[in-house]
Amino acid sequence: MASKYIKNSRRYLLYLVLLLVEKIFNHLPLTLALKIGEAGGSFAYKLLKKERQKTLSNLEIAFGALKGEPERERIARQVFKNLGKNLVEWIRIPQWDKEDLKQIVTEVEGIDNLEKALVLGKGVIMLTAHLGCWELLGCYLVEQGYPGVVIAKKIYYKKFNDYLEKIRFSHNIEIVYRAESARKSLNHLKQNKMLGILPDQDILEIDGVFVDFFGRPAYTPKGPVFLAMISKAPIIPCFIVRKEDNTHKIIIKKALELEQTGDKESDMLVNTQKWSRDLEACIAQYPEQWVWMHRRWKNREEKQDYVENNKN
């Protein structure tokens, strides 16, 4: 009981710090706020030893000899700096209107791919990653007139979850929580909406398959392909990346051509590997902007035991 009280007290203190940071950053010029966010990320890189080590370890797994230790350290430091900038922008999102977002997201590549997919009237499954300033992606597209929903995990601490909801609701992004039924997601697709999914993490409780990711088997959600097969909605990989001037570029790929042989399990594996390749390619192009501190390659045997024990 005492440990739970201490944990909740720490969370509440962090929440108060977040509100203080919000108050400060909202009254600073964006350029200055981003510089402070970058410096904060650099400080976090030095302070958070465990997260730094996980980042460096995952970079070594992904790139090995392709990128030497100095280069991996440079990338890891930039990852933390980018997250510091992200925090600044997330805090300010509720203040920004459609025109503000046009000044912040200055380039959109492949918007015709999205429009062609929406013409089909089946909705669109937008697959993205924890890359760049990902919360901006949905906000921008919805403000441009493309109704969107995001599938998300409810955060353990309600005040943090409410804060994230405030960011998304400020730009009319609807939320479907992972614990809710797939039917709710399918209903949104029937209304020809974008359904945003970030399936780039290894999550034990989610039904998935092992596919190759940077040369190693990684447990990967098969929900996107499952929804696509049921709804006939196209799957479109879509990303947002930070540019050197701290504006952002959205990259919308062509809809994937899904394999449909009639062998459900085989098709699920092949198609999950297809979209995973697109995510991998974009992460490889912008390695400084992905969340490498996530344990993307957890113990395979442990995962397989879990899957086998929870089939029914």
The residue extents of the domains of the chain are 2-309
Contact (Cβ atoms closer than 8 angstroms) between residue 240 and residue 280? no
* pLDDT for the residue numbered 308: 58
- Ranges 94-108, 191-205, 244-258: which has the least confidence: 191-205
Q: How confident is the model at residue 179 (pLDDT cuts 50, 70, 90)?
A: confident
- Ranges 31-35, 54-58, 106-110, 261-265: which has the least confidence: 261-265
Query: What are the pLDDT digits (tens) for 185-228?
Result: 999 999 999 999 999 998 877 889 999 999 999 999 999 999 99
The answer, as to whether pTM is greater than 0.85, is yes
| pLDDT of 80 above 80 | yes
Strand 148-152 relative to strand 194-197, pairing: parallel
* pLDDT for the residue numbered 3: 67
Tokens linked to 82: 């980018």
Contacts of 149 (CB under 8 A, 6+ apart): 173, 174, 175, 176, 185, 188, 193, 194, 195, 196
* pLDDT for the residue numbered 269: 96
Compute the average pLDDT of residues 233-241: 98
Element (H, E) at 149: strand 148-152
Give the separation between CA 53 and CA 280, rounded to whole angstroms.
21
pLDDT over 90, % of the chain: 82
Q: How confident is the model at residue 303 (pLDDT cuts 50, 70, 90)?
A: low
Q: How confident is the model at residue 2 (pLDDT cuts 50, 70, 90)?
A: low
* pLDDT for the residue numbered 285: 97
Q: Average per-residue pLDDT in the chain?
A: 92
* pLDDT for the residue numbered 7: 72
Give the separation between CA 279 and CA 215, rounded to whole angstroms.
13
* pLDDT for the residue numbered 36: 97
Compute the average pLDDT of residues 291-308: 74
| pLDDT of 272 above 60 | yes
Contacts of 197 (CB under 8 A, 6+ apart): 125, 126, 127, 128, 150, 151, 221, 223, 224
Residue type, 269: L
Contacts of 173 (CB under 8 A, 6+ apart): 138, 139, 142, 148, 149, 150
Torsion on CA atoms 47, 48, 50, 55, rounded to nearest 10: -110
| pLDDT of 299 above 80 | no
Give the separation between CA 44 and CA 48, rounded to whole angstroms.
6
* pLDDT for the residue numbered 305: 60
Give the separation between CA 26 and CA 145, rounded to whole angstroms.
26
Q: How confident is the model at residue 127 (pLDDT cuts 50, 70, 90)?
A: very high
Compute the average pLDDT of residues 170-191: 93
Provide the strand spans (E) within 79-147: 105-109, 124-127
